[in-house]
A and B are shown apart, each in its own frame.
Chain A
Amino acid sequence: MKEKTKRIIAFYSMISPWFIVFLVFGLYPMMYGLYLSFTNYYGFNIKKLKWMGLQNYHKVFTDSDAMYSLGRTLYVTLINVPLGVAIGLGLAMLLNRPVRGVGVYRTIFYLPSIVPALASVLMWKFIFSSNNGVLNGILNLFGIDSVNWLGYDYATTSLLIMLLWGAGGGVLINLAGLKGIPRDLYEAASIDGASPFKRTFHITVPLMTPVIFFNVIMGIIGSLQIYMQPILLNGAELLARPIQPNYLYFVHAFQQIFAFQRFAYGMALLWVLFLAILALSVVVFTTSKYWVHYETDQEG
């Protein structure tokens, strides 16, 4: 057998587990879901589906709940992603200098991001609780009046605080990036008299842009899909509707599908967001050449 044929056989047999699962449990369900989004599927009529054309998609853009929740989701994303990325980078920079017991700090910073959502929400509920809650207790110490953290005015702030608590999850990837920056750059800069502030913004940040870019993309994708935290934070039950300001887009889709069995419409909602994520990623990718600094020896 020729060397090349051997290689082709080896390659395709090695990737086959992934590829088969991708086709059967990824691509096929995806396309099936896309098909369902054009029908009137509501849970019991799988044998006699009716083709509805673009009606479900038209409904997405006229459904005031969907549009409202989309706005709230964009708002949460707009605050959560930049702050989350900045916190992750800042913490990694703190860890990137020789310190004693670095493993302990690293664990503590990373810890919140690995606490199962369920457990972390339980803790935060207790902190945000309005009567005798811990956060209000601390505020009162400083002479600030109690606030209804889970009420209408502050529910989204509370959600964001809870999400940002997990921002240390980016520490490891940032740390890996920081370790790749040559030390002599900093030394040269200090000899030239650059302040730590200047060194941060003229060396660290520009050289970290590829990692920042990765974190921004993953952050946007993750943020647009938030639904568990608002549901757990406000509702006692999984199918209960969270408080209005925390009624995010995926929560709406979740509600339509699981609480009302509007499967076809739910699939249309999900596909609209999926396409929006794709579009947004394309925008971030195309603008990336203006702000992401790549080493010249990129491998193909």
Chain B
Amino acid sequence: MKTETTTKGSIPHYAALIFFSALFIFPLYLAFVLALSAWNTTPGLVPVGFHPENFKYATTLINFWHYTKNSIIICAITLITSTLTSGLVGYAFARIAVPGRNVLFMIVLSTMMLPGIVTQIPQYILFHNYGLLDTFWPWLFWGLGGNAFFIFMYRQFFSAIPKELEEAARIDGCSIFRTYWNIFLPMSFPVIATVSIMTFQGSWGDFMGPFMFLKQDHYPLATALSMISYKFEGQEDMILTSVSTAAAILLIVPVLVTFFLGQRYIVEGIVTTGVKG
């Protein structure tokens, strides 16, 4: 299905794609080089020696799996609550016409503009007063609130579905909630996939939130890696750069894998929701 316009100039096109790919992947390549290099060397474009055991040290010199477990807990809480709430709220805004709907939707959109830190610091004081610091409760609350951008995506998606579907369901005696749960939600798979992957990415990489609200034992991996440096016992002044780079790569792997597996749905999800509207 190549047309005249696309075959023309396709060699410069591929050249551009490859050039930019190389540019974007280069830092990641260098990180690999460093992670495989001998300790305290400054390698260039190829590793100094070959030391895959750096990856093993990355998981053994600190309590790596304990922090990973914390990451998984935080991600699971956020993923389940945020994905469900955003869908429900998005559906209500898209399909149930009631007075006050547009004003409330403007509020949802305007919360996207709010710098997170404006609420985080007073939240810190409040959580402190209620004894919720150093617990995972805040993530449950935040998750239940959904996410403005995802609510927006769900709303766009559900708005595009023809009205007949609901009417058919109503004639069959479905309640509004059942209509959502049994008919609309299963249809929104591309959006669910997109939202889940994006939520996972955000929550897995977030290290500031946990840094503010948790203590070291409850840190997720991202926070732990930013606060704890890799050292050998007895050699406290020597920071093992190769090992911490290896750990950073391990931190990236789940994000990378989920994106690669889900990217088809993400593009589909964003195209069908038509964010540009």
Q: Quick one: which of B116, B241, B275 has the most chain A CB within 10 A?
A: B275
Closest-by-CB residue of B relative to A227 is B117
A155 CB–B CB distance under 8 Å: no
Report A-chain residues with C-beta under 8 Å of the C-beta of B116. Answer: 225
**Which A residues are in CB contact (< 8 Å) with B144?**
17, 21
Within 8 Å CB of A131, what residues of B? Answer: 42
Q: Given contacts A14-B89, A17-B88, A108-B24, are A172 and B276 in contact (CB under 8 A)?
A: no
Residue of B whose beta carbon sits closest to that of A213 = B276
Residues of A within 8 A of B88 (CB): 14-15, 17
The answer to whether A111 touches B270 (Cβ under 8 A) is no
Q: Which residues of A contact B42 (CB under 8 A)?
A: 129, 131-133
Name B270's contact: one of A21, A173, A270 (CB within 8 Å).
A173
Contact A11 B98 (CB under 8 A): yes
CA distance A80 to B118 in the complex (A): 23
- Please tell me if the beta carbons of B244 and A221 are within 8 angstroms of each other in the complex: no
Whether, in the assembled complex, A176 has its beta carbon less than 8 Å from a beta carbon of chain B, the answer is: yes
Pair A106/B9 contact, Cβ less than 8 Å: no
Q: Are A176 and B276 in contact (CB under 8 A)?
A: yes
Q: Could you say which of B28, B96, B115, B260 contacts A14, with CB atoms under 8 Å apart?
A: B96
Closest approach, in angstroms, between the C-beta of A70 and any C-beta of chain B? 14
- Other-chain residue from B112, B122, B159, B201 in contact with A29 (beta carbon distance below 8 A): B122
Interface residues of A in 90-108 (CB under 8 A from B): 91, 94-95, 97-99, 103-108
Q: How far, in angstroms, from A36 to B120 measured CA to CA in the complex?
A: 13
Point out the residues of chain B lying under 8 angstroms from A98, CB to CB: 1-2, 6
Give A246 Cβ to nearest chain B Cβ, in Å.
17
Is A117 in contact with B205, judged by CB distance below 8 angstroms? yes
> Which of B108, B121, B204 makes the CB contact (< 8 A) with A266?
B121
B114: A residues at CB distance < 8 A: 26, 30, 274
Determine whether the beta carbon of A33 is less than 8 Å from that of B34: no
Flag whether B45 is at the interface (Cβ < 8 A): yes
Known: A14-B177, A114-B201, A116-B222. A165 touches B27 (CB 8 A): yes
Does A7 sit within 8 A of B, measured CB to CB? yes
> Chain B 239-255, CB within 8 Å of chain A: the 1/0 string?
00100110011011001
Q: Is residue A46 within 8 Å, beta carbon to beta carbon, of the partner chain?
A: yes
Closest residue of chain A to B266 (Cβ to Cβ) is A172
* Minimum CB distance partner of B101 in chain A: A11
Interface contacts (Cβ under 8 Å), in number, total 265
B115 engages A273 (CB within 8 Å): yes
Q: For B238, what are the chain A residues with a Cβ–Cβ distance below 8 Å?
A: none
**Residues of B within 8 A of A (CB-CB), count:** 97
Contacts of A78 in B (CB 8 A): none
Known: A14-B91, A263-B121. A105 touches B271 (CB 8 A): no
Report A1-45 CB contacts with B as 1/0, cut-off 8 Å.
000001110111011011111101110111011001000000000
Q: Which residues of B contact A257 (CB under 8 A)?
A: 121
A111 touches B89 (CB 8 A): no
CB distance from B220 to the nearest CB of A (A): 10
Is the pair A119, B248 in contact by a Cβ cutoff of 8 Å?
Answer: yes
> What are 21 contact pairs spanning A and B, CB under 8 A?
A10-B176, A14-B88, A17-B85, A21-B142, A29-B122, A30-B118, A98-B1, A99-B13, A107-B260, A112-B24, A118-B207, A122-B248, A123-B31, A134-B45, A175-B267, A176-B267, A176-B270, A187-B5, A211-B275, A225-B115, A225-B117
Name A's B-contacting residues (CB within 8 A): 6-8, 10-12, 14-15, 17-22, 24-26, 28-30, 32-33, 36, 46, 91, 94-95, 97-99, 103-112, 114-120, 122-124, 126-127, 129, 131-134, 137, 165, 168, 172-173, 175-177, 179-180, 186-187, 190, 196, 210-211, 214, 217-218, 221, 224-225, 228, 232, 238, 250, 253-254, 257, 263, 266-267, 270-271, 273-274, 277-278, 281, 298-299
Residues of B within 8 A of A (CB): 1-6, 9-10, 13-14, 16-17, 20-21, 24-25, 27-28, 30-31, 34, 42, 44-45, 85-86, 88-89, 91-93, 96-99, 101, 104, 107-108, 111-123, 125-126, 141-142, 144-146, 151, 159, 175-177, 180, 201, 204-205, 207-208, 211, 222, 225-227, 241, 244-245, 248-249, 251-252, 255-256, 259-260, 263-264, 266-267, 270-271, 273-277
The 3 closest A-B pairs by CB, nearest first: A21-B145, A116-B205, A29-B122
